[in-house]
Structure 1
Amino acid sequence: MAIIENIRRSIKKWLFPDNALGNYNDFSVIKDKSVAVVNPNVALTYSTIFACVRVIAETIATLPLFLYKVKGNNKVKAREHNLYSILHDAPNLECTSVSFFESLITQILLTGNGFAEIIKDNFNNILELHILDANKIRVYRDNYNNIVYEYNDDGKIISLSKRQVLHIAGLGWNGIIGYSPIALMRRQIATGIYQDNFALDFFSNGVKKVPILSHPNRISKEAKESMKESFRKSWDNGIVVLEEGITVNPITMNLSDAQFLESRRFSVEEICRIFRVPPHLIGDLSRSTNNNIEHQSIEFVTHTIRPWCVRIERALNNFLLNIKEKGKYTIEFMLDGLLRGDTLTRQQSNQIKLNNGILTRNQWRQQENMNEVEDEYGDDYFCSQQIRPIKKVYEENHTKDKNNEK
């Protein structure tokens, strides 16, 4: 069966080579034999990659995600819809919405694509969402020009249609498949991993000074090897006895001279640049101050988290809402909590909104995680008496002019 399946797949590729969307992790054009194999699993062992992926995935996964029902220019939470609890609470019985989106976003950040199988009932209602391993999926177009997701389930090939898969793609070429950042940036990542390995070797072996042995006489090659082996064994045991006038001149490697620390710091900045994460969010405070940290955090929300949230929202609306529901419902993240800033700035902003009839007292209290007030004015909008419609001002001035003429 395996042979037949391999033949079938090869024939399919041969029949429709132009329609195959290909393997999004295949960047053979830029492969370099001098660079070690770097895949998502290897990349995650590099602390900077792990920290960047973690801060983005956790930030987005812990944001409130709601399904809204659109009513004219307004929208209300559609709690009665089955998708509401799936997105907000738990997509299936095995995980919560936080762990689900955390895993999905991690796959997108590492492979460029995130996939989940959509489980529906006989009435086409969505019941559950289950994560699919992005490394086991191949996406192609069939002879009817339909997109097909081919999933390798431990050797068993399962073909899923577009209606059965939630696909969130990152930056890509054709709008369907996202590029793998790990594959594209493998040289930069490999450099950081090499530096980690070098540091490990240095501190495990290189802390001891490298000895140079000097013999007063010329000795044969065999004698040199014998002397080296004998000295190595004694050196490892901690006690060395020298004979025949041999002297030892230890040499210490200076990491500062090798600019090792500067190179490692540059590698951290390079990875942060790839993921658009401010270094202070992953623990690198070398260039951070109290004045710029808040602005960098706001930029992180604006230029990193928000684009990812919009990308995910568009995919959720496209893949999870049917034709009748599109336009009537919308799925959105709530980013207000990330943009709050410090307490004083937040309260000043809310005070301006309250004075101009944009915010009610109860809405303000909800933002601060406080209970609503029980009086009848908690949901009323207020505005300052000094602020009036400009039309009203013209009308009053016109009336005064008429009275003065009389």
Structure 2
Amino acid sequence: MNFLRKSLSMGVTKSPGVIQETPIVNFPFIAPTTTASGVTVNPQTALEHEAVYTCVRTITSDIAKIPLQIEKKNPAGGWKVDYDHPFNQLLNYPNERHVAFEFIEDMVLSCMLNGDAFAVVIRDNMGIPEKIIPVNPYTTRVYEDPQDGELYYYVTSKMLFNERTSIKTETGETRTIYHRDMIRMRGLSLDNGKNGYSAIRLAREAFGLAIATQETAARAYTNGANVSGYFKPDPTMGAENAMAMADKLKTAIAGIVNSGKTAVLPGMDYVAINKNVSDLQLVEARRQVTSDIGRIFRVPPYKLGLNDSEKAANVAEQEQSYISNTLVQYTKPFEQHMNRVLFKPAERNLYRISFDFTKQAEPSEQVRGDYYAKALTYGWMNPDEVREREGFSPIPDEKGQEFRVPQNTGVMGDPMGEPLTGDNTNGNQDPNS
């Protein structure tokens, strides 16, 4: 960021002549795209489709309800939750407007719909993070330093008005934010990480087809549509009388209220064409586009009301796959960017922020009981670790810290660790005898 810092130190006013305008991809609402199906696709129109809404709502709420915790590296190996770290308060209440659930939900939603999600970290005089403020991607411009390629951002947000940001002398709603102070989530990038692209933008034809199919199905019922035939006027009837009869017909049978009524009109013959909504294959088409949308967002069919005959065991496997292949693609970069911005380089080896998926993929009590029994028996967990995972307090006097060793197993060559037999069950017997 040498170029930016040099410009600011010399008092140069930033202008389009110095910094080029951001590509229009950052502003999808300004230039909506019309697809081959004839419908306009942007985040708003896509979200009005029931399958898109279901996928977006499912993913955002599933991630937002996962506990976000701070873990400290154990000198003996592994990680342990640090409930006393001061950043716990920051993660639970990132700013005056948001709680943790809302903040995470907004970030994931923005990433899914717009391809980018931004949150500015506000620091105190010592450089310690004290607030995390999400900002609108439509009022955030991404720039790349022409000398070293480092990213920085122009952000406009009323929530920044009274805050001290990257450049201490800046005031007002529009600020310059360094990359080290910006938590960012993005979709696929085609320009080395400068701009993120959403699935809605990249697969707009699929979303356009889904929207068109939904509109077609809705309009099929606008006029009580059961396309089974049409009325043919008497040849002697004039055009004016024919139009009047058409209005009477519409009044008599149109709409849900008049569904099933029979219209009797003089001079009109009914011609059957034996076509109805089922023949138009609207149900099958909507089911197919729902499956397509779910595949784009990696949402399993059972969460979209498909595959009703799935067995419980298969659903459990799909739930684990949903966590590994769908949710983690959002949570992992979110964790890494928060670790990058909130912790100093030296602290990243000692602390980390992570989502706890334990409850999200929690099996039944019987399955957990069998798992814990094996874990305790074979010594890869101690009683206190089991109790902590289940939300219980530790056993007093650190009695739950001991690891058990199966009595029918041991280390070959170690007399004290050999399996119990009829010859060594007596604790007073000399093992060398």
- Same fold at TM > 0.5: yes
TM range (shorter): 0.7 to 0.9
The AA in structure 2 aligned to 1:132 is V
Partner residue in 1 for 2:314: 292
Q: Which residue of 2 aligns with 1:134?
A: 137
In 1, the alpha carbon distance for the partners of 2:229 and 2:276 equals 15
Describe the shift of the 1:251–1:323 C-alpha distance in structure 2 as closer, same or farther (beyond 3 A).
same
Contact 1:209 / 1:250 at 8 angstroms: preserved in 2? no
Given the alignment of the two structures, is residue 185 of structure 1 paired with residue 207 of structure 2, yes or no?
no
Distance 2:401 2:228 in 1: 76
Q: d(CA) in 2 for partners of 1:292 and 1:351? A: 24
Which amino acid in the other structure matches residue 191 of structure 1? Answer: L
Equivalent residue in structure 2 for 1:172, among 182, 185, 189: 189
Supply the distance in 2 between the matched residues of 1:200 and 1:214 (Cα, whole angstroms). 26
Distance in 1 (CA, whole Å) between partners of 2:204 and 2:319 is: 27
State the Cα deviation string for residues 303-338 of structure 1 (Å, max 9, x = none): 222333222211111122123322222112222223
Alpha-carbon offset, residue 367 of structure 1: 2.4
How many angstroms apart in 2 are the aligned matches of 1:262 and 1:233?
Answer: 31
Local SS of the residue matching 1:197: helix
**2:25 counterpart (20, 23, 26):** 23
How far apart are residue 297 of structure 1 and its match?
1.0
The answer on 1:99 being equivalent to 2:116 is no
Question: Counterpart of 1:162?
Answer: 179
Give yes or no for the alignment of 1:85 onto 2:89.
Answer: yes
Alignment correspondent of 1:341: 363
SS in 2 for 1:119: strand
How does the TM-score come out when normalised to structure 1?
Answer: 0.82
The whole-number CA distance in structure 1 between the counterparts of 2:415 and 2:42 is 68
Counterparts in 2 of 1:100-249, with a 5 A limit? 100-144=103-147, 145-153=149-157, 157-173=174-190, 174-207=192-225, 212-217=230-235, 224-225=242-243, 227-229=245-247, 231-232=249-250, 242-243=265-266, 245-249=267-271
Paired position in structure 2 for 1:41: 44
Aligned-partner Cα distance in 2 for 1:21–1:323? 32
Question: Which whole-Å CA distance do the structure 1 matches of 2:186 and 2:415 have between them?
Answer: 53
C-alpha distance in structure 1 between counterparts of 2:118 and 2:102, whole Å:
14
Q: CA deviation at 1:168?
A: 1.7
Deviation of residue 128 (structure 1)? Answer: 0.8
1:302 equivalent in structure 2: 324
- Secondary structure of 2:401's counterpart equals coil
Q: Do 1:48 and 1:268's aligned partners in 2 also have CA atoms closer than 8 Å?
A: yes
- Indicate if the aligned counterparts of 1:279 and 1:285 stay in contact, CA closer than 8 A: yes
Task: Using the TM superposition, name which of 212-221 and 167-176 deviates more.
Answer: 212-221
Q: Could you tell me which runs of 5 or more consecutive residues in structure 2 were left unpaired when the two chains were aligned.
A: 1-12, 159-171, 419-433
- SS of 1:159's partner is strand
Q: Is the 8 A contact 1:191 1:267 kept in 2?
A: yes
Aligned-CA RMSD value: 3.5
- In the TM superposition, what is the alpha-carbon distance from 1:122 to its structure 2 partner? 1.0
Counterpart Cα distance in 1 of 2:327 and 2:349: 25
Match of 1:86, SS state, is helix
Change (3 A) 1:9 1:50: farther
Determine the C-alpha separation between the residues in 2 that align with 1:393 and 1:307: 50
Residues of 2 paired with 1:24 and 1:373: CA distance?
54
* 1:11 aligned residue: 17
Q: Structure 2 vs 1, CA of residues 291 and 226 (structure 1 numbering), >3 Å: closer, same or farther?
A: same
Whether the aligned pair in 1 keeps the contact of 2:65 and 2:101 (CA below 8 Å) is yes
Does the residue aligned with 1:205 lie in a helix, a strand or coil? Answer: coil
Q: Which amino acid aligns with 1:102?
A: E
- For 1:64, the aligned partner's letter is P
In 2 relative to 1, CA 62–315 (structure 1 residues): closer, same or farther, beyond 3 Å? same
Deviation at 1:25, TM superposition (A): 6.0
8 A Cα contact 2:35 2:41, kept in partner: no
Asked if the contact 1:118/1:166 (under 8 Å) is kept, the reply is yes
Q: Identify if the C-alpha distance between structure 1 residues 136 and 260 changes in structure 2 by more than 3 Å, giving closer, same or farther.
A: same
- Further displaced range: 91-100 or 121-130: 91-100
Bigger drift between 208-217 and 296-305 goes to 208-217
* Letter of the 2:125 counterpart: N
Structure 1 window deviating more from structure 2 (144-153 vs 294-303): it is 144-153
SS of the residue aligned with 1:310?
A: helix
In structure 1, what is the equivalent of residue 381 of structure 2? 359
Displacement of 1:176: 4.1
Greater helix percent: which structure?
Answer: 1
Q: Amino acid of the residue matched to residue 119 of structure 2?
A: A
| Aligned partner (choices 61, 65, 73) of residue 64 of structure 2 | 61
C-alpha contact (below 8 Å) 1:82/1:126 kept by paired residues = no
Deviation at 1:212, TM superposition (A): 2.9
Among all aligned residue pairs of Structure 1 and Structure 2, give the percentage whose two residues are the same amino acid: 24
Aligned equivalent of 1:404: none
> Contact (CA 8 Å) 2:140, 2:155: kept in 1 or not?
yes
Judge conservation of contact 2:28–2:42 (CA < 8 Å) in 1: no
Partner of 2:166: none
Structure 1 residue 132, shift from structure 2 partner:
0.8
Look up the match of 1:400: none
> What SS does the corresponding residue of 1:382 show, helix, strand or coil?
coil
